[in-house]
A and B are shown apart, each in its own frame.
Chain A
Amino acid sequence: MSDYVLIKDYNPAYRYWIRAYLKQKKIMGEREYSWKEAQQISMDMAARGVDDVFFRSYFWSWRNHPEHPPDYFDLLRRALPTYENEKLNLAAIAQLDKEARTRNQRILFTIEDAAEDFYNFYENFLTKPLARCLQGGAEGKKLITYFEYEELASIRKRGGPSPEEAEEGRRTIAVELLQWLRTITPEKILDDIAQTLAQHYDKGIASANSEHSYIFKSKYVEVSAHRVPGSEKLVTTFLTPARGYGVVKEGYAGVHFPMYYVQTP
């Protein structure tokens, strides 16, 4: 058991409380709503000169991915008293987690859960699609969507002057990337998370300031620490996969790219 408590940024378990809060505000009822309906509510409220900050955030958060309701932690913390003195109240969160478990859902996660989650992300958004692309003989133009900046820069170094050589360079990098992705296991990610947090969590909290964040990218994961605006002490730490943000369809990263708030008890 690690010393870290993880809270996922996007988690359908939050929906129950978020919708209850909107119902309490008499903005939305019990039934399921589509984003289009929410848009109509938003426009109707504007026409009546009514503004509700929470609903506005809810509607805006939903806009990028209309098929997926905006089950974000930010909305949960606004709907329920989960912060105390600007700091996350873990006891209150633990209580919510207990309630969520009665619905077979969870609020609190371990680094083991995160490792499994990251592994699934790599598998479903990088390894399998890239393998399909290579198997299908996809053009380099398609393959480079899986590359990070450094790999894109290296194409020009590795690829020759002719288009054929450049294409071959892209394919070579893609094949190497796939080979590397196939070596990933949940265990390797877990080791990486444990090691990274052990070495950089405290360092991040100490280093992050209003001028710069603290960012460390390991082999599989990335940890970043950000000073909370307006606070001298408070720092928010995130744990995410080290790559793949750009692979997710634009607007859908919030739903599909795993992002965890890292806390210590």
Chain B
Amino acid sequence: MRDDESLVEAAVKMLVLFFIIYLLASTWYFTFLQYRNGSSANATDDMSLAGLAQLSFNDNSTNSQLRDPGFWSIALAESGRTTTYMVHDTIFGLIQSSKEYAALFSENMDNPPPWLSQGLPLYLANFFAKLDAETIGAGNAAAAARVMKNFTSYVAGLSVAGVDLASYNGVSALRQYVSTGSVTESAATTFPGQIYKLYSLAFNSSYPEEVRAQFLGKALAITGIVIVTAGHGHFSDKFEGMLSRLNLLKAWPKIKAYLKDMVSASPGAAYQATVVLEALAKKFPTTFTDVAGFTSDRIDLMIQSLKDKGLSPDAIKEKVAELVRAANDANGEGDVAEAADEISYRETGTFLARVTNDLSLTLHEDAATKRYIRDTFLQKEVPGFVASDAVALKITVHKENELMISYYVYQGGQNFSPTLPAGQAKPGDIVPISIELLPLDSFLKGIPSFQLTNPAYLSWVADSVIVKDFILTGTTLQIHILQTNPFTPLRDFNIVGKVEKYPGSSTNYGGAYVQFSITDHLGRTQTLRLRHDGYDMPEFQLLSRGAPETVSFFSYDGLRLSIVYTTRNTIATMYPKALTEAIYSLGDLHPYSGPYLDFVAGKFTNAFMVDHIEMERLLESSMLYHGSTYVVGRLGSEIAFVIADSKLGLKDVVLEEPSVGGRDLYTRDNTVAIQARLLAYVNPAKVEATIQKELLNLVNKLGQDYDNQPDMKDGFAILSYVDPADGMLKSLIVEVPKQ
């Protein structure tokens, strides 16, 4: 018994297998034959239906098939399948998608065609059943061929213009589909221009009869579409009249493709969208055409967004219906599109934006215009957004489970067009985005810790630093930095600044920045920016003569905060703490009257000497011994500062960058200027001559300062030098009056 069952089972399996092989083989053969006969996807399209008049039906070997019910059975079945398929690509699919649509057409169309209530596939099936009956009933093959000849001659007199109007993407778009689809697909979705070829193939004896029947079925389906749109029922004219009545005729080419898309998500929603567009067209009859595509696109994307969120077709339909009121209440043509985005945003937390070739975000783009996110949308949907000010915004691209962030600054105006960073989207993408305000505290919290390393192995600064975190208290910004610095035991330090501007943006760098200034104990102020775009490494910039320069490094040695910027590694030095004798301890100040003054005799009122200056830290000694002339110049200015403060009693002294010309130090009220110099090495053979020359030079420079600074009342030349006689660091101070 078991053996018998196994035999039956095996036989069934074999039959199924043979059937599958038959299907595959017939499909291959069908494809092969089309290829052999040049009916490939790349075949030249024939847009003219007049060619159908050339069909002769004079091959009796194939004409006889017309009288074969089996042949017609296959042909009509294929016709039905193709019609059903094509209907989805035409307005007929829209009509049959919902009762409301059918009603809309019935109500707004004069003498609506009978198939409107019946449904196009059934109507055409009946129509071709009559043709089938006529040919089968013909007396012989030649008579049957005449029936076909009459039929195709009639069709040859029709225009495809109606099909173009009735198809969503137009005939041209169908052709494009044919040319890119597979061979079998192209046969199933061919457009009217290929009818002639299909009829020819249907009567080409080199194909088996079954295949010829399939060709005829496709030809009939397409012919049927042409007949109902352009035939004696004058559907296309009626359809045009209906669109005109609804004020949608001019805009129809722009909106029909979107309607098709909507139908696939929710036929009811698509119907409601049509009602919305009708209402908008009624409200703005002269300008509606300009916004029809844009509005349809936004409604379509809203539907897509709601569908992706999981809303039912009915729920989506209700949401689209809300737009009817928006259309009726609209003050501007773009209001409905914006209302669609608002619904998307409220329902899903995102709205869909299009990504252009340069990765900027738009709402809609066509040949003539681009539509951007509008200030009115931001004002309604982004809490706290005020259109008149520069506003920092955070955009999040929601890609499946990944959230990708980027920062922007809205600069005012009606449109907001952010550009996404590469990697977050590709040109042509449609991405769900959300937008939120980016207040300063959020901006700072969003900045990750990041490391900076000593560029070009600069001397006497840290090896690396980690910009750790940011604390905002009122307008005071504190930046906490960790450092690895062999020149100081300090493992971390803070940069404290005053926020001057937020948000700032620059076209060159993108993102948003906070601008803050830091002022040190020596009166120096530097303006810095902290820029971040939300995804890349944050960046500090220093404003140098108003232009932002990238900061590559920070370092703090317990006295100097070094800010390295520009590609040339320029260093701006700040003094966060007081510069005192804790760094340079000074010996006694006593009057001096020796030979060093010989060159400046008569040009000064007082001269002093500090004959012993001790560098309290190894760092300054190392800088003196091994540093560049710039480094030594800085030490000279620092020593002069301590002397001015401790020995000369000058207060509020500003220390200039040593590399900057003019006064080296000066009091903030500009009444006193100091010229400073440090000679770390003096040729023992010409100590006197060198110091005399250098001192005279400083005195001359003070003369220039007097000329340049009208408020200057007193000047000091402070010449520090390492005396080769005893190796001591000394300072000669000469007071130079205004003469």
Contacts and interface: CB of A to CB of B under 8 A. Distances in A.
Interface stretch (B144-152, B357-365, B551-559, B678-686): B678-686
B687 interface: yes
Given A74-B684, A212-B598, A245 B693 contact: yes
A173 B598 CA distance: 26
A46 B739 contact: no
Contact of B594 (A57, A156, A211): A211
Interface stretch (B189-197, B320-328, B429-437, B694-702): B694-702
Given A63-B632, A148-B700, A149-B699, A72 B706 contact: no
B686 A215 contact: no
Nearest to B704: A144
Interface in A180-236: 210-213, 215, 224, 226, 229, 236
A255 B681 CA distance: 15
Interface residues of B, number: 37
Contact of A213 (B595, B632, B681, B703): B595
B686 A226 contact: yes
Given A63-B629, A246-B700, A155 B707 contact: yes
Interface residues of A, number: 45
Interface string A129-167: 000000000001100110111001101100000000010
Contact of A152 (B632, B685, B693, B700): B700
Interface in B592-609: 594-595, 598-599, 603
A43 interface: yes
B250 interface: no
A87 B388 CA distance: 83
A61 B683 contact: yes
B29 interface: no
Interface string A30-67: 00000000010011001000000000110011011010
A259 B689 CA distance: 10
Contacts of B699: 149
A56 B724 CA distance: 12
A77 B603 CA distance: 35
B687 A213 contact: no
Nearest to B697: A246
Contacts of A211: 594-595
A251 B708 contact: no
A28 interface: no
A79 interface: no
A253 interface: yes
A63 B595 contact: no
B632 A74 contact: no
Interface string A104-128: 0000000000000000000000000
A14 interface: no
A145 to B, nearest CB: 7
A56 B708 CA distance: 39
B688 interface: yes
B729 to A, nearest CB: 13
Contacts of A210: 595
B595 A226 contact: yes
A71 interface: no
Contact of A57 (B622, B681, B708): B681
Contact of B681 (A61, A155, A212): A61
Nearest to B662: A141
Contact of B622 (A46, A147, A148): A46
A145 B700 CA distance: 9
A6 B692 CA distance: 21
B700 A224 contact: no
Given A74-B684, A215-B598, A246-B700, A152 B707 contact: yes
Contact of A144 (B689, B707, B725): B707
B20 to A, nearest CB: 80
Contacts of B704: 144-145, 147, 152
Interface in B411-466: 459
B703 A236 contact: no
A224 B689 contact: yes
B625 interface: yes
Nearest to B693: A245
B680 A246 contact: no
Contacts of A226: 595, 686, 688-689
A60 B686 contact: no
Contact of A42 (B626, B692, B706): B626
B488 to A, nearest CB: 17
A166 B598 CA distance: 30
Interface of A: 9, 39, 42-43, 46, 56-57, 60-61, 63-64, 66, 72-74, 77, 140-141, 144-145, 147-149, 152-153, 155-156, 166, 170, 210-213, 215, 224, 226, 229, 236, 238, 245-246, 250-251, 253, 259
30 contacts: A39-B628, A42-B626, A57-B681, A60-B680, A63-B628, A63-B629, A63-B681, A74-B683, A74-B685, A74-B686, A141-B707, A141-B708, A147-B703, A149-B699, A149-B700, A149-B703, A152-B703, A156-B706, A156-B739, A166-B707, A211-B594, A212-B598, A213-B598, A215-B599, A224-B692, A229-B725, A238-B686, A238-B689, A245-B697, A259-B686
